[in-house]
Amino acid sequence: MRTAYFGAQPGNNRPMRIVLATSNPHKIEELRHIFAAESLANIELVGLKDIPGTPPDPAETGATFVENATIKAREYAAWAGVMCLADDSGIEIDALGGRPGVISSHYATDGRETGVTREARDAANNARVMRELQGVPVEKRAARFVCTMVLAQPDTSASGRATKAGRVLHIATGHFEGRIGEPGMAPRGENGFGYDPLFLVPPQFTLSAAELDPNEKNRLSHRGHAARAMAAFLRGM
């Protein structure tokens, strides 16, 4: 188990360090912005790349967002030696029976990692969704982003040695309802990532999530709702 601190200690002003179980710079930036707005100045969020050593590569074998987020949070907490906040998120499209769901980030390859860049993967995923929704009328293109966050801390055995997986402290989930734009309305926008350019925001459905101002997106988004719920838990710690 790594030498680390879990929170501000008596006699010093060090913040509580939490590692975010992601290497996605967009997610890290969003969460830092949301936590700052929630007056959590005593929380230091760091990414996997900020922790020395080679991180594990947990197999996301869960059938739900909660299961996958829990796998990541527990394994990364045990590896890093500090509390870990992991999220699993994706988009559910009613006309596709809830797909892409837990394989949202690799939908174009049916959940398989192929080593392409994030930008190429996003483009392929978006193209598949638009292809599969071809001819689906606007009233049947309802969709929602879902984000589940799990906070875990390193756990120890009776002997004081670190166990192979951390202990879950809290789970928070957020949703962002909308619909997938028809050709001509989507894709559009440069501010987001993933499926944001396809996702039209209610009630007018004239702007995509990728066209929202970052503050407005954080207010409305699935990740914003989950992060604020997690922030409320952290304030009470």
Could you list the active site residues? 88
What three-state secondary structure class fits 45?
Answer: strand
Rounded Cα–Cα distance for residues 226 and 38 (Å): 12
> What's the gap between Cα 10 and its chain centre?
33
State whether residue 217 is helix, strand or coil.
helix
Separation CA 146–CA 150 (nearest Å): 13
- Which residue, chain included where needed, has tokens 């797909």? 99
Q: What's the CA gap between 123 and 126, in Å, rounded? A: 5
Whole-number Å distance between alpha carbons of 20 and 47: 5
Whole-number Å distance between alpha carbons of 228 and 38: 7
